[in-house]
Amino acid sequence: MIPGVDNDSIVYLNGDYVRLGDAKISVLDRGFIFGDGIYEVVPCYGGKPFLMDNHLARLQRSLKAIRINAGRSTQDWQDLVLQMLSRSGATGDCTVYLQVTRGVAKREHGFPPSAQATVFCMVSPLKRPSQQVRQQGMTAVSMPDERWLHCEIKSVSLLGNVLAKQYATDAGVDEVLQFRGSHLSEGSSCNIWVVKDGTLSAPVRDHLILEGIRYGFLEQLAAQAGIPFQSRPITQEEVAHADEIMLSSATKEVLPITQLDGKAVGNGIPGPVYQRLRAAYDAAIEAL
């Protein structure tokens, strides 16, 4: 039994639908031994997937990047997501979690030629951001980005992200803003956005950040709302003097950061660019 988890919920594991409490993998699975795998999280509202095609396209990119052949097409992944939603009976807000590892093999670092990919999928409740955090914003601290150089891969090797989140917890704040040298990268598990003089900016989409599905989506919403947008290197000095700072992720959607390193961001309240993006984001969810 897993404390705090519905052990009777149905999950998918290597072709079978089983109780979560009965799902088992080998201790020699390379995801367990090496963190050799990738994952994806599809948010769903009212039981309906949101931006699923984008999430599954990134899933395929990540698999290709680390050379795992799971033998499935994008349509196969889509069918699995929809089947899991149907079997779970989910009609409210939830997430569909997909994880693929290289499979079970003798513990050797090189790719095993005969291993079969391990595929796991589950549905979990999604608690959307509260009205309080939307209206008051989040707190954050700065820290050096000490992770590896392939952050564009949505890898299950998340120790760097875990340590970053714990850094925030130890500091008594909600999130971190990570910097490679003097330039902004991302949060512990979210993309970061900066506003100055009405222009929205985000770090360049390269190997130093995981391009969240909300990255392109917020860029689209900004264009629709007439908000100027730039994808460019952003210095720590610029972040310190930003009018607004925001974060985005599948589960946090888009939220304001109103305090950084103990100082107010802008006026210390969610700003007008955030308000416009938040309204557009909510409208997109309602359109489902």
End-to-end CA distance of the chain: give it in Å, rounded: 36
Catalytic pick among 154, 165, 196, 263: 154
Question: Is 154 in the active site?
Answer: yes
How long, in residues, is the chain? 288
Please give the full DSSP string across 3-60, using - where no structure is assigned. Answer: TTS-TTSEEEETTEEEEGGG----TTBHHHHH--EEEEEEEEETTEESSHHHHHHHHH
Indicate the helix (H) or strand (E) that contains 74.
helix 74-88
> Hunting for tokens 């969610």 — which residue is that?
270
Beta-ladder partners of 247: 192, 255
Smallest CA-to-CA distance from 259 within 148, 137, 156, 121 is with 137
Query: 3-class SS at 261?
Result: coil
The one-letter amino acid at 287 = A
Residue 286 tokens read as: 């309602």
Residue 211 tokens read as: 């391009």
**Backbone φ and ψ of 97, nearest 5°:** -100, 125
Put residue 36 in one of left, alpha, beta given phi > 0 → left and psi -120 to 50 → alpha: beta
Alpha-carbon distance of 43 to 249, in angstroms, equals 10
The one-letter amino acid at 180 = R
**Backbone φ and ψ of 197, nearest 5°:** 55, 40
Distance of CA 60 to the CA centre of its chain: 16
> Hunting for tokens 């760097």 — which residue is that?
160
What are the catalytic residues? 154
